[in-house]
Structure 1
Amino acid sequence: MRRLLLTAAVTAAAALTMTACGTTEPAADDAAKKKSGERITLTDANGAKVELDGPAEKVVGTEWNVVENLISLGVDPVGVADVKGYKTWDTAVALKNEPKDIGTRGEPSMDTIASLSPDLIVATTDLPPAAVKQLREVAPVLEVRSADASDPIGRMTENLDLIAQATGTTEKADELKEQFEAKLAEGRKALADAGLAGAGYAFADGYVVSNQVSIRPYTSGSLIGAVNEKIGLKNAWKIEGDKDYGLASTDVEGLTELGDVQFAYIGSEGDKNSTPFAGALAKDKVWTSLPFVKKGDVHRLPDGIWMFGGPESMGQYVDAVVEALAK
């Protein structure tokens, strides 16, 4: 499940900082490089050397953020973990082909992946080392660090760059990064024009398990939190997030510390347990007494914005925030 996997992810040990070498040629040279058979050598997030005969074309993605990056770069993956889940939770970058479903993000099917004969498997450090070891017996594996609360946006763009180097799409990566920076500037201006520069803002998601509501704050160390600050909002969460995803945990009582803020969340109609703010909490006395609930400053952002995605998901998020707050 999405929730369980991400909960496990935030407790994973931090991966080594990724570096890349021998791959700084401009994208214009990519086709020639492939024809000449020039090898690509990369160092991934765990320090493993990854060697390719040329830009990878038949690529498998074991996590949704790398799948999004691949498609954004113009590479349609031949295999994707939990295709149905991706289509539900990541609408910013739709699948353009009919990739093979390789199983869950936590337990991909080795047999299915092997049957695809991929040039490259792109995984994240959330995947258990034992699974990565098995994947390396099938094809070269490029691991990217899933998240880094010390520099969430930097991690997102470095992952994009590394995947671009492996697939010969560095020019497209530069274009995506420029578009993302422009989107941040556009969002910041729109909020400032609406008198919302520096406004207190809290983003969370929540879910119901065994009739109990759990709320997950996205602190300044989260990717969403970092984007919020880039567009001029002040993160209202006082709670500390984990070292990777910048996520925390609280309950409805913990929301009383937020004060008078703008509150936003994302759920999914395809996952009824993911929308407690409009469901299980609707008649909760603590929830209904909160200042932002009384004032109508609770905003459900559109479904399908993947909170852990790449530049295009984050651009979609910026548009949604501006639409919700500055309308």
Structure 2
Amino acid sequence: MMKGVSRRECLAALLLAPQMTPAWAQVSSPRVAILDWGLTTSVLSLGIVPAGIAEIELYRRWANDFPIPAVVQDVGLRTEPNLEVLATLKPDVILTTPFSEGVRPMIERIAPTRSYATYTPEGQPLNRSIQVLREVAAVLKAEKQAEDVITRAEETFASLRRALDGRPVAPLLLAGFMDSRHTRIYGQESLFGNVLDRLGLQNAWKSPTNFWGFSLVGTHELAPFTDAQLFAIEPVPADAPLTRSGSGLWQSLPFVRAGRVATLPTCWAFGDVSTAVRFARSLTKAILGPEGSHAS
């Protein structure tokens, strides 16, 4: 630790620091177009400016792990890209996932196409995202940059876990509200659930989840979680109960009555290791409260 800098000040710097912005265009790499937001974050984390990205404005709303330079072209939908725009960009490689497998035969006519899956039956998307980053970096000739990203991520997880060590934290419900009656609750096999494991925190949701690591539940299904704390991940719909007052089932839930409800900044649930780091920072800061702003 630097002389004259307290542990409290170090933690504050860690929690309040924005996600590191890559040094754009410092990497000489193949020209790349991307049809997935998690892969977009991975490429941007390497300091590489893609030629094209799918659904840029929605990326900014739902993911936005890194800023997208104005020179990047929007190539249309993730599942139905604009083939004419893609061809005009003349990419050396196109990155996608099995989610876009239906259009792969068409985009392979434009450029060699690599498909990477972060979510697999093993249910470890964080570990898998680290492997995918390494595989993508090998294609883009940015192996050293990838190892730097991974090292910083592991150091951040370890530092945040130490900051939380010994602090009593209720079992957590991580919620992505869909509407006034339904929410996604992220289980252990989600990216967010993997982050809880890295931080030494308990996930309150033990029920089986889908392939993507979440369960779509009705508000009434949260009633048994009397001792939990719920974190709602933005954006929260205007009609979601989190934003309403008055009577109703939501207000009768034990953790709501106890005031154990808070929001977290937007994080793409199907992102990569850099997304996981940003989520870990936001969650730790929310748990520590005012202490997290001054201290460490």
Specify the TM-score bucket, using the shorter chain as the normaliser. Answer: 0.7 to 0.9
- Name which of 237, 240, 264 aligns with 2:205: 237
Q: Where in structure 2 are the equivalents of 1:54-69 lying within 5 Å?
A: 56-69=29-42
The CA deviation string for residues 123-176 of structure 1, in whole angstroms up to 9 with x for no partner, is: 01111x330111100000010014135222121111111110100111111111
- Name which of 166, 169, 179 aligns with 2:142: 169
What one-letter code is carried by the residue in structure 2 that aligns with 1:233?
A: L
Paired position in structure 2 for 1:138: 110
SS of residue paired to 1:216: strand
Change in Cα spacing, 1:291 to 1:301, as seen in structure 2 (3 Å) is same
- Name which of 263, 273, 289 aligns with 2:230: 263
Paired position in structure 2 for 1:224: 192
The CA deviation string for residues 184-241 of structure 1, in whole angstroms up to 9 with x for no partner, is: 1112111124333xx4111010112xxx522111000101001112101111012211
The answer to whether the Cα contact below 8 Å between 1:76 and 1:97 also exists between their aligned partners in 2 is: no
Q: What is the number of residues matched between the two proteins?
A: 263
What one-letter code is carried by the residue in structure 1 that aligns with 2:208?
A: E
Q: Where in structure 2 are the equivalents of 1:48-197 lying within 5 Å?
A: 56-127=29-100, 129-148=101-120, 150-196=123-169
Query: d(CA) in 2 for partners of 1:274 and 1:228?
Result: 27
The answer to whether the Cα contact below 8 Å between 1:204 and 1:217 also exists between their aligned partners in 2 is: yes
- Name which of 293, 296, 307 aligns with 2:259: 296
Q: Tell me the C-alpha RMSD between the 2 structures.
A: 2.1
Query: d(CA) in 1 for partners of 2:241 and 2:32?
Result: 38
The CA deviation string for residues 47-103 of structure 1, in whole angstroms up to 9 with x for no partner, is: xxxxxxxx8521001011111111101111111111101111223211134311111
- Name which of 275, 285, 291 aligns with 1:313: 275
Query: d(CA) in 1 for partners of 2:248 and 2:239?
Result: 17
Query: d(CA) in 2 for partners of 1:222 and 1:173?
Result: 22
Query: d(CA) in 1 for partners of 2:271 and 2:171?
Result: 24
The answer to whether the Cα contact below 8 Å between 1:57 and 1:75 also exists between their aligned partners in 2 is: no
SS of residue paired to 2:165: helix
TM-score between the two structures when normalised by the length of structure 1:
0.76
SS of residue paired to 1:250: strand
What one-letter code is carried by the residue in structure 2 that aligns with 1:131?
A: V
Structure 1: runs of 5+ lacking an equivalent = 1-30, 35-54
Paired position in structure 1 for 2:172: 201
The answer to whether the Cα contact below 8 Å between 2:125 and 2:190 also exists between their aligned partners in 1 is: yes
SS of residue paired to 1:257: coil
1:254 lines up with 2:221 in the alignment: yes
Query: d(CA) in 1 for partners of 2:232 and 2:153?
Result: 22
Change in Cα spacing, 1:141 to 1:200, as seen in structure 2 (3 Å) is same
Deviation at 1:275, TM superposition (A): 6.8
Paired position in structure 1 for 2:237: 273
What one-letter code is carried by the residue in structure 1 that aligns with 2:279?
A: Y
The answer to whether the Cα contact below 8 Å between 2:54 and 2:78 also exists between their aligned partners in 1 is: yes
Structure 2: runs of 5+ lacking an equivalent = 1-25, 290-296
The answer to whether the Cα contact below 8 Å between 1:288 and 1:294 also exists between their aligned partners in 2 is: yes
Query: d(CA) in 2 for partners of 1:153 and 1:275?
Result: 32
Deviation at 1:285, TM superposition (A): 1.9
What one-letter code is carried by the residue in structure 2 that aligns with 1:253?
A: H
SS of residue paired to 1:205: strand
TM-score between the two structures when normalised by the length of structure 2:
0.83
Deviation at 1:183, TM superposition (A): 1.2
What one-letter code is carried by the residue in structure 1 that aligns with 2:248?
A: K
Query: d(CA) in 2 for partners of 1:179 and 1:277?
Result: 37
The answer to whether the Cα contact below 8 Å between 1:206 and 1:274 also exists between their aligned partners in 2 is: no
Paired position in structure 1 for 2:5: none
SS of residue paired to 1:92: coil
Query: d(CA) in 2 for partners of 1:195 and 1:254?
Result: 25
What one-letter code is carried by the residue in structure 2 that aligns with 1:250?
A: V
